[in-house]
Each structure stands twice: as C-alpha cells, then as structure tokens.
Amino acid sequence: MSDVTCSKNRGVATVRLHRAPANAYQETFLSTIGETLASLEADNEIRVVILESGLEKFFCAGADIAVFQSNSVAQNLALVAQARRNAAAIENSNKIIIAKIAGHCLGGGLEIALACDFVMAARGNYRLGLPEIKLGLIPGNGGTQRLVRRTGLAAAMELLTTGNSIDPERAQQLGLIDQLIAADALEQLCQNFAEQIAQAPGLALAASKKALRMGASLSLEKGLALEAELADSLYETADAKEGLQAFIEKRAPVFNKH
C-alpha cells in the first residue's frame, strides 16, 4: 500500500497518510503528498479535501529525525523546500482543506495542520507542539508565522521557546484547533461538515478563501478593494445566475462544476 492514499465522495476528497510508525516524513513521502494535492487541485469535482492519518497514534510526527540527521545539509534543504511547497499548496489551494487530527501532531506535522483552513480534532490522550528548539532548530515550514496568526504572540512565544507540547484541550483554547470532538464522533462530523461546504459553488468558495487568506495581511482599504474585485468577478457567472434563480423559485440551486 502507498504511504498516501486518496478517496473521493460527494465533492470531498480524503487524503490519508499511513507511513508507519508515525507518518514521519522524508522526501519521497512529501513528494507523494505534493503530487496528490496537485492532482486534486486539477479535479473540478472536488471542493473540499480532508487530510487525515491512517495510523492509530499519530497524525504526523514531522521530519524523520534519523533521516534528517544522516542527510547532508543540501538534502535537508531539499526536504524542507518540498515541505514548504506542500504547505503553500494547501494555503493557496482553491479547495477548502481540513486537517482531521486524532493523534500526536508535532513539528512539521503541526505545520501541515497550521496551513489548513480548518483543524478538526478528537478529544484524547495525545500531544501537539513544535519541539524544534530542543534540536537546536526552529520550525522552518511556516510554523512560526502561521502559529502566531492563530494563537497570538505570547502563546506562540511560549510554545516555540520551550518546545513543550500541549494537549488537545489546551490547543483548542489557544486557537490551534477549531473544533474538538469526541473521538467516536469525529469521522462522521468531519465528513458531514466537509460535505456541507462541498455543496457551495466552487468559484465562490475559492473567492471566499482568497479574500480571507490574502485580506488578512492587507490594510482594511486594500482588503476591501480585494473583496470588491473578487465579488464583482462573480456577478456574471452561471453559478450566481443559478443561485438567484433558485432563490426566486424556492428550490435548491444546482451549481456547475468548475
């Protein structure tokens, strides 16, 4: 079985990672994830992607330390470059991407989750954190920048400078987790949430994500200009016409695949 598998249902793709024992990554694993994301980006029927683990105890432990330690600096820089490309692909995707977590999520694994649009997680006895400082390093795949945007400066500083991990309840309090759900309900609730989003028109979903992602780093004036540009681009689309007509006719809209 491949370390990365993908299934599709009702506009939702589920990408499952299962490189035992901890989904610790090396270059081939990361490249396969990147190829899978690129394939889904080109699939007009997919609106939402769920990233999950097929392993019982780990979402992802980040870089394989044994591989990292034995690599040359050039090899490690290539590894990190692929990890950065994957995170950028998640963040810049026209799809809505959900991290579904039910096990340890550490280092580069947490950096993957931080790049996603939603983090849905199970209650349980596992940890989340960025322990790189204990190795004489800092996160290099967006961990510092995406972390502080979710938690604020004080919490991010504590997590980065101590390298300590936290439990899911604390992670939710700090904003690392959006929805914390009983473990036996996570699968169904995550799928239901994804399918609900997948019913929306693709162009408007992509515009919503772009407005929020890009606008968050702009001044209000520039953010409003971006919103206006994106909103205006949708008025003449077939989806907008269908949405308005369906509202008048009191029926569910049937949106195009884009």
Active site residues: 111, 132
| Beta-bridge partner residues of 14 | 7, 50
Cβ-Cβ contacts under 8 Å for 14 (sequence gap 6 or more): 6, 7, 8, 49, 50, 52
Residue written as token pair 């190829």: 35
Distances (CA, A) of 203 to 43, 87, 107: 13, 22, 33
| Beta-bridge partner residues of 119 | 99
**Torsion (CA) 219, 225, 230, 234 in degrees, nearest 10:** 150
Q: How far is CA 202 from the centre of its chain?
A: 18
Structure tokens at 222: 């520039």
Residue written as token pair 């994830």: 33
List the strands of the sheet with 58-60, edge to edge: 58-60, 104-106, 128-129
List the strands of the sheet with 96-101, edge to edge: 4-9, 12-17, 48-53, 96-101, 118-122, 179-181
Inter-residue contact 18 to 59 (CB < 8 Å): no
As a whole number of angstroms, the distance between CA 23 and CA 3 comes to 8
